[in-house]
């Protein structure tokens, strides 16, 4: 699927989500890109506004099956999802 990215949203420090396990599960289930490195997370931490929220990870789905798998995996781990388009929002992403 070209276009939208699925950003696994930022979590508070008190969150119970295991980011390493989430990343590993996504890598097994997603054909597209799964990025949890600091540089990639920083790249997707902001849009056209001054609002900044660093995600715990970013998924770039290849197709509809990837979108479904990403959502199911995030739900399994209790991780919120923030859909992202072109990153040009002036209202602070879509939170």
Helix, strand or coil, per DSSP, at residue 91: coil
| 18-54 tens-digit pLDDT | 999 999 999 999 999 999 988 888 887 776 666 677 7
**pLDDT winner (highest mean) among 8-12, 16-20, 89-93:** 16-20
Residue 93 in any domain: the answer is no
| 61-76 tens-digit pLDDT | 999 999 999 999 999 9
Q: Please give the tally of structural domains in the chain.
A: 1
Owning domain of residue 22: 5-84
Residue 89 in any domain: the answer is no
Q: Quote the tokens at residue 56.
A: 């715990």
Taking the C-alpha atoms of residue 2 and residue 31, their distance in angstroms, rounded to an integer, is: 13
| Residue 71 main-chain phi, psi, to 5 deg | -65, -45
Residue 38 in any domain: the answer is yes
């Amino acid at each position: 699927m070209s276009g939208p990215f699925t950003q696994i949203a930022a979590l508070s420090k008190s969150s119970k989500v295991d980011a390493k396990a989430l990343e590993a599960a996504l890598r097994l289930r997603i054909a597209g890109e799964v990025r949890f490195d600091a540089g990639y997370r920083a790249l997707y931490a902001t849009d056209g506004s001054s609002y900044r929220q660093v995600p715990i990870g970013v998924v770039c789905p290849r197709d509809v099956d990837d979108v479904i798998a990403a959502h199911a995996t995030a739900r399994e781990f209790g991780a919120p999802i923030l859909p992202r388009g072109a990153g040009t929002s002036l209202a602070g992403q879509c939170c």
